[in-house]
Structure 1
Amino acid sequence: MHRIIVWLLVLGVSIPLWGQSVKTDSLHIVVMGATGAMQKVDALNNLADAYRFKNTDSTISIGTKALLLAKRNEYVKGEIIGLYNIGNGYLSQGDYHRTLSYLLRALGIAEEHENDSVQAMILNSVGTVYMKTEKLDQALYYYEKAKLLVEKQKDQFLLAKILGNIGNIYWAQKKILESLHYKQESLTISRENNDLIGVATELYNIGLIYLQQNRHDYALTFYKESYSLSERLEDKEGLAFCSFDMGEIYLHQKDYKTSLVYIDKGLDQAKKLKSKNLVYRGYDLLFQLYEKQKDYAKALSYHKLATATKDSVFSLEREKVLKEVQTDYDLNKKQKEIDLLYKDKTMQDAQLHSQSIQQNILIFGLTLIAVVALLFWINMQSRKKINMLLEQENELVRLQKEEIFNQKQEIADQNQKLEALNVTKDKLFSIISHDLRSPLNTLQSMLEIVRDGILSEEETVEITGLLYKKVRHTSDLLDNLLNWAKSQMEGIRIHQENVNLQELIQSNVDLFLPQALEKKIVLENNVLMPVHVNADKNMLLLVIRNLLNNAIKFTTAQGCVRISAEIQSEKVVVCVQDTGVGIDSDRIDKLFKVQSLFTTYGTSNEKGTGLGLLLCKDFVEKNGGDIWVKSSINQGSRFYFSVPLYVQLREISSFTMAS
């Protein structure tokens, strides 16, 4: 069972271990003893859930009874759980279309009545449907919604299960780092709640991930801890699987002595379990071990034992088939005896028929009544089935209407985006026609004066300085224009990587130091230690450059510009602070909106386009962060932005082993 549970969890299947211990016989007694309608609905739903892994047809049938009874008595929670059970029944049968139909109906009623606890269970099942149909992004969406609800309710057992499912999604997407992160969270919660079975299972799962990555040392660490827990739980099957897996790893590492110890332990547990399949695996591993050691005598001996065990497994299967054939034969024999007795009884009835006409008339009347009752019952069942089919069809129509409405909403959203793009286009043409053409005309005039040689050497030096400032401003303007245009046309591809934020900030500080000295401004870098973030390096470089340029631009002489960074949870928050002129509250709301694009001259009449902050906002959000500002007139400004902290795989693994 241990091995089966592990593989099902890797595939994203949710298994309620507690459900296997529920006795359906006792639940049938509870249903029969229920007095009130609501009590009977709850009992029927519990019975339907208990049959889920035994007989899915019973789950659907009993869930339907609970649903109809709940509707007649206006018992909303019972109706939701009934739909949920029917959906899970179809889920186990692989009928995903019907599964979604019932689960989404249950979810709609639960949302309408704000029943968060039931919503989380339903969302988890919906995520499993999409997982089974390999729609991983949609599965992740529903798992994340379920996770948010469960975190509010503080249902730790369900939270651990959902986190494990999210880890499975990332593993299927080959995102090992994210998968290990969620597996670790699930493991931590199971530890905190003393859920030893959950802990042992997740430890084995993490070990299995590392094993499939051929990271044997990490895999051994988790296998050993899972093995230790299996010993505490007296789980012989878990001990056997852990022992065999560890023995196989040591066999690959050519540590034959240690490999032999673990294979022998696993074989001992397999024999205690009397599991011929596990015994066969142990003999086969010993055969491989001695073959690699070139001890061909022992290798041959264990090969014969493995073959014999495998043959005995097939013999048991054949014996089972023979027993079933013998059972069928005995049943047929008994049926013939019954038929013979029935024939004798018919003859006796024929003799009695001549003796008692009244009795035959009575029997005929009773038979006729029974036939009429049977026809009436068949008609009722047919009507019920027709009504159920009509309900399902109505639900499909409702879902189609919702889909049409969503498509209309999507078209409306696209129209809004097109309007916003038109506004952006107009703004860009305005900037190009005025703010770009004007400095180019000025540059042309200055260059004509220099070319004609009518200036003195001192005037030439002054004009050259002005030319440098104009060229630098025009270059910055072109950079921002090009980056903004590419961003709006979705031409920028994000390449997130491990970026040393300290080095990036220092390179920008060095770049703007001459500009700061020219305005007699102190430029400080307070990021003194390496800080690693997960971001696109070029985008991050542009954000820091624009914020530092703005800070120097709006700070007066003898002022100060500081840049600092702080780690907050899983993000790094960067702050660019200046002692400049500040921003009034009316303009703060317009800083990051393309519809209100504007520019302001700096303290030395530096000119901009207003595109810099829009680029900063766009690039920060594309990297998974936020940007905001705090400022007031003559009190300076503080621009903040956040980026994700870079977490190395080795750090997660170290934390996992330490915990």
Structure 2
Amino acid sequence: MKPRKYILVFFIGFFLLAIFSYGQKQKDSLSVINDINTLNFNYSQSINKNPLKSLSYAKEAFSFFEETESNALKFKVATNYITALFINGRYKDALLILNDIEFLEVEEKSKALYFTLRGLVENDLNYISQAEESYKKALKLYIKLKDKDNEFTILNNLGLLYNNIGDYKRSLELYLNCYDIINDLKVKVDRYKYYMNIGTVSYNLNDYNDAIESFTNALNEATNNNNTFRVFRAQEKMAQTHVDLNKLDIAIEHYNDALLGYRQLGLKKEECTMLLHLGDIHYLKNDKNIAFNNYSKAQQIASKYAFLQEGYRASLNLAIYYKEQSKFNEARLFYRKVINNESHIVNLNVLKDAYKGLYEIEKQNRNTLLSLAYLESYLKYDNDIKEIQLITQKEQTQVQYSLKQKERDLEKLEIDFALNDLKLKNKQQQFQGLIILSALILLVLILILRSYIQNKKAQKLLSQRNEKINSQNEKLVLINKEIKAQRKELHGLNKIKDQLLSIIAHDVKSPMTDLYNLLFILRHNLNTIHKDELKKNLAVIESSTSNLLNLLNNLLNWTISQSSGVKVKKSNLSLIDLINTNLKLIESSIVAKELVVNFSPDVKLNFIKSDLNIVDFALRNILSNAVKFTNKKGTINVEIIKSLNGLTEIKIADSGIGFNEDIHNLLIKNTERVPAALGTNAEKGYGIGLSLCKKMLAEIDSQIIYEKNEPSGSIFILQLNPLN
């Protein structure tokens, strides 16, 4: 293989490698997004049915977090993972990820979701003040966004938070606020969420019958949709309400169902909570041995998985059991487990009952000073609890009024639901009627068409002879047209062949001859030529080769455009990458002329949807001309700008010798070639580059604009119209 062929193969290979690398990068990015979307879909399908399985999907999707460029997608995979961790009781892991994405730039709706999740996690970690602050931030954003559904949920969560720490006054105020926005709720699709929220508020306002009705509706919704996790949540709420209605056997049945369900799903915290509730009910039924077994199992789970608040409750209940059995040493041990963690206990009633039990034990054992100390702590917590539970007469009146208002609101909502169902049925009946009417119309049309076809058959039999004659005539006409078209095509091909041979004979032969002569001289005088002179001649060879390669590319594209036409393939282009790649291709000519090339790209204008080959071809020709017609140590400025009409432009300004009016004629009129001109280092031009650029750019509704550069040089503007 000759040296020039090696050079040609090298440049073609480099160009193909660049195209492949860019395409592979785009393909990898799309592959990551597709993987994330698939995992997110699997997560959403399993979150309410199999929390452990949903955790594995969310974790795998989160593994792409760093590879994802979109903040919205980063936030989506992170919050899905946080939700799955929260449901599976891994609160500290969830809090770590919440801290990592705290400053991720997202829209306000996503920020509100972030604070909601943070409040839920902090609440279960017993960071009460932090959870309260997070809930308040979420509530403020939901009010601003006029999102009544989530505003209702946050008010409910805050009410539960205050209720759990014994602040019933503030809890009651929030539950009353919930009823102010019941009629504005839009959660019609997720009926489960709606019924659970209404039931919770009804329960906390002691309206147990309405609570049971709402929780039953929620249970039915979850069962119909096969949402296992939601089924157990609803059963837990129903059991809790039946306890307050003193229907203990029904409550035990629901709690046992929820216990078995949570155990199957591997949700240890929920399993521990169910055991505590079952222990409390069996204690009320005087089945104290069964209660003791439940408390002991809950204590073991709480100790193993560090469920602190549940562990304190289990310890208190075990202490009460041992105290009633007169096993005071065992009782003291569990009571002290509670009071030794006094600063970490959220529910003041737990501490009050612990000090009361210790006081009664020490009083019975006549430890007067110690029993008085325990009595003092018991009275202190008793007074604190009474103070925060105090509700004024006015507030009690407000509760009664709100309960009546609630009943009217719920009746109105049920009427609205019934009306919506009726409207849906009417629409279905209208649709069925429309189908029947359409079928009748179609039947009539078929009968008419059948009659029309029969008449046509009779006419067809009469006209078959004439059609045969006409068919023969038409075949002769078509054959004649094909002959003319082939003659015209052959004439065009001969013209293209003559033009191509002419260009090769005059424009390729001459530079190849010069290149051959220069290589001949170098080979025969290699030992006598100075190193600097050798470098200079090699630079000339490299520049000539690059120029010749550019000509061959132009000839190839010109031949394609003349024969088969230009085929447009749109894709997302990086203009910065294209400019840098083409500057690299002509680097030897730039270095040989000691040119200064200034290119400070604006990343905001980087990407555009267009045809890669056409834009790359036009850009390469303009940059090559700028180098060719710029004097030694000259300057070339390249920039990406936005035109007044909103189009993206690549502006290339050089300090060279400029062009004559032929360039204007080429760019404005339909001139095929301009007279060839020598570059500043006697580089030859071939007169087809700009005309071919103009023709190819017209295929993508783009153009080249030429301006004179003062005091000397040229400005070529590649104006690109993005493809839709």
Which TM class, normalised by the smaller chain length? Answer: 0.3 to 0.5
Q: Using structure 2 for the length normalisation, give the TM-score.
A: 0.33
Q: Using structure 1 for the length normalisation, give the TM-score.
A: 0.36
Q: Which has the larger radius of gyration?
A: 2
